[in-house]
Structure 1
Amino acid sequence: MNKVRGFFGSKKTKGNGGSPDDKDKKTPDKHGLLKEPWRCLGRKGTWTEKYAKELLSEIQKHDFKKTDLSNIRILLLGPVSAGKSSFLNTVASIDTGRMSQITVAAGSSSSTTSALKKYRPAEKLKNFCILDTMGVEDSDQGGLNLKDVVYVVKGNIPPDYKFNPASPIDEGNKDFRSDPNNKEKIHCVVFVSDANVIGQNNISDATRAKIKALQDELKVIDIPRIVLLTKIDVLCKLVEADIENVYKSPKVEEAVRLAQELYYIPEQNIFPVKNYENEMEMDFKKDILPLLALRQMINVGTDFFRSSSAARDDDEEF
């Protein structure tokens, strides 16, 4: 199996230095958990209902800082069965305060989503909308076409457009938006990946090639990118037993490291999440991880919109 390498060079290796205390912190205890978390919830973060409500409030009261934007547009990308639909259902459940299903999660090897679908929360959550696409598949004849992805990000493809992997949209198509405004463009791209697949370093060469090609295109646009690592409970049974173990799990930490190298995205933009899938009731602890991810999506999306608008204004003045 090939080793994961970053797009801009070979895999970085850590030095052999470090104090004995540092090494001790990285040694799992008798239960298999790290003595110190590899990430903290935040300066005031705790696994409490109060903190979940604080995160919700931050999203509700997000300040767009004197822009004319009212919703950050977030695009979900990922392979079939990675958890895109489950994440949408999780967001909808947090929004309504009860278990909700706005889309059917994939249970097969082919994508269940054929059109560009838009979801906008209408109750507790606000200030963003999420666009879902076909799954990214290894075959060039299946799943979302790279050209279509770029056109979605640039705002050229409207919601409900039906994708055809064998025939990507072009400028002559009746549905093609030739001059989209900034409110129709994507402000943050989110890659959804199965942590169990990433954590076992089990990525096919074809998938790596598609990821690299897509990253190359998105780097030109300079759009912010985030990774969601789903199914962390499958990756680590200690997390399945207690979600609070997520940041003390060596397996989850390793999955984040491998995702960072695969997508070449800063660790602060990689979020392990546990989607609602088989649960019958809401759990505020399980809300915290998706809310942390949503907060970052909105923040970086706002930054991108502001910088894009400033660049456009500068061009007009020039």
Structure 2
Amino acid sequence: MGGSFSSRPPPPSPLLSAPWRRINWSDNHSTLQYVKAYQPETEDQVIRILLHGLVGSGKSSFINSVESVLRNRMCIPALVGNATQDCFTREVNPNAKISKDDRFYKPTPSANDKVHVLVFVIDANKWSLMNEKALEALDDIRDEAKLLDIPQVAILTKIDEVCPEIQKDIKNVYKSKELKEKMEKVSGAVGVPMNCIFPVKNYSKELDLDSDTDALILSALKPILDFGNDHLNKRYA
């Protein structure tokens, strides 16, 4: 008896053959030293970074993660909320702008009172679930920042929940086809170019630091400082 059979082709790989963006996974030291040593060119000046995002997007966790990397140990200086709790970080409300009668209103703000870089913190796993009202709020804040010529950056959090391959090995972050598609959608919807969008994995369950997780956090932190510094120097030009 003769017979034949057909085999199904293997499913397409969720990973690209090569990363579309490269970062140095083996040398966190130089970037860490750069960040730690950074000082604005003007004495007594500080860079103010405004984090904006929905409740549970990972703002507080990002602050904690950055602090942990800088101190080389786990830190929890900012309390972390979630979608069912009050948020422990506060953000501006574009629909309720500060009035001249408010005690925090400053008619002639100094450079230290102003925002120098705006960072959108977006949950990569829930991006598609953002409603129209949330997107409109992002647009309103983007427009205000644009009028003030404030540079804008986006941080994509919880990337390990997007792609199992990233969960297996965080170094697959720039090989993941799904994450790249999400970043492209975020870029189109929020208006932040791809080279200003940085995927990160915040520390949330871990007890110890991980050098690859640190590398992603540092690769986001350095350009945030650079963009803020550029904006600050424009003010003094």
TM over 0.5, shorter chain: yes
C-alpha deviation, 1:32, in angstroms? 2.1
Does residue 1:189 correspond to 2:164, yes or no?
Answer: no
The aligned residue for residue 109 of structure 2 is 180
C-alpha deviation, 1:108, in angstroms? 3.2
Partners of 2:177 and 2:108 lie apart in 1 by 47
C-alpha deviation, 1:193, in angstroms? 0.2
Give the match's secondary structure for 1:233: helix
Partners of 1:84 and 1:202 lie apart in 2 by 18
Tell me: CA distance 1:109–1:254, structure 2 relative to 1, closer, same or farther (3 Å). same
The aligned residue for residue 29 of structure 2 is 53
The aligned residue for residue 5 of structure 1 is none
- What is the TM-score normalised by the length of structure 2? 0.89
The aligned residue for residue 224 of structure 2 is 297
The aligned residue for residue 40 of structure 1 is 22
Query: How many residue pairs get matched?
Result: 228
Alpha carbon RMSD of aligned pairs, Å?
2.0
The aligned residue for residue 129 of structure 2 is 202
- What is the TM-score normalised by the length of structure 1? 0.67
Please list every run of 5 or more consecutive structure 2 residues that lacks an aligned counterpart in the other structure: 1-9
The aligned residue for residue 107 of structure 1 is 82
The aligned residue for residue 68 of structure 2 is 93
* TM-superposition CA deviations, 1:199-255 (whole Å, max 9, x none): xx3321111111112212111111001000000000111111111000000111111
- Ranked by relative contact order (alpha carbons within 8 Å, sequence separation 6 or more), the top structure is 2
* TM-superposition CA deviations, 1:100-123 (whole Å, max 9, x none): 11122112345423xxxxxxxxxx
The aligned residue for residue 16 of structure 1 is none
Tell which deviates more after alignment, 212-221 or 75-84: 212-221
Partners of 2:180 and 2:234 lie apart in 1 by 32
The aligned residue for residue 210 of structure 2 is 283
Contact 1:76 1:133 in 2 (8 A): no
Give the match's secondary structure for 1:72: coil
Runs of 4+ residues deviating >6 angstroms: none
Tell me: CA distance 1:175–1:267, structure 2 relative to 1, closer, same or farther (3 Å). same
C-alpha deviation, 1:63, in angstroms? 6.0
Contact 2:156 2:197 in 1 (8 A): yes
Give the match's secondary structure for 2:146: helix
* TM-superposition CA deviations, 1:271-314 (whole Å, max 9, x none): 0000000001111111011111110011010110111222xxxx
Pick aligned residue for 2:192 from 240, 265, 268: 265
C-alpha deviation, 1:67, in angstroms? 3.0
C-alpha deviation, 1:30, in angstroms? 5.7
Partners of 1:238 and 1:223 lie apart in 2 by 35
The 5 Å alignment of 1:62-77 reads 62=38, 64=40, 66-68=41-43, 70-77=45-52
